C-alpha cells in the first residue's frame, strides 16, 4: 500500500519516498507558550 501526502506548495498529493531505505524520521518544533506544535 502506497502512502501519499498532500504537498501544500504544489497543491498535489505526492507519493511518499524515504531517503534511507527502511528508515523514516520526523522533525517537530514546539510546543511553546505562544503557538501550537509544528510538524515539518
Q: Kindly report, residue by residue over 25-39, the tens digit of the pLDDT.
A: 877 666 666 666 666
The Cα 29–Cα 36 span in angstroms is 9
> What is the predicted pLDDT for the residue at 2?
87
The Cα 33–Cα 36 span in angstroms is 8
> What is the predicted pLDDT for the residue at 22?
87
> What is the predicted pLDDT for the residue at 32?
63
Tell whether pTM > 0.75: no
Residues with Cβ within 8 Å of residue 8, at least 6 apart in sequence:
none
The Cα 5–Cα 3 span in angstroms is 7
> What is the predicted pLDDT for the residue at 24?
87
Helix (H, G, I), strand (E, B) or coil at 4: strand
Amino acid at each position: 500500500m502506497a502512502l501519499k501526502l498532500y504537498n501544500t506548495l504544489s497543491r498535489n498529493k505526492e507519493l511518499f519516498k524515504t531517503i534511507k531505505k527502511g528508515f523514516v524520521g520526523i522533525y517537530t518544533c514546539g510546543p511553546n507558550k505562544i503557538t501550537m506544535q509544528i510538524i515539518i
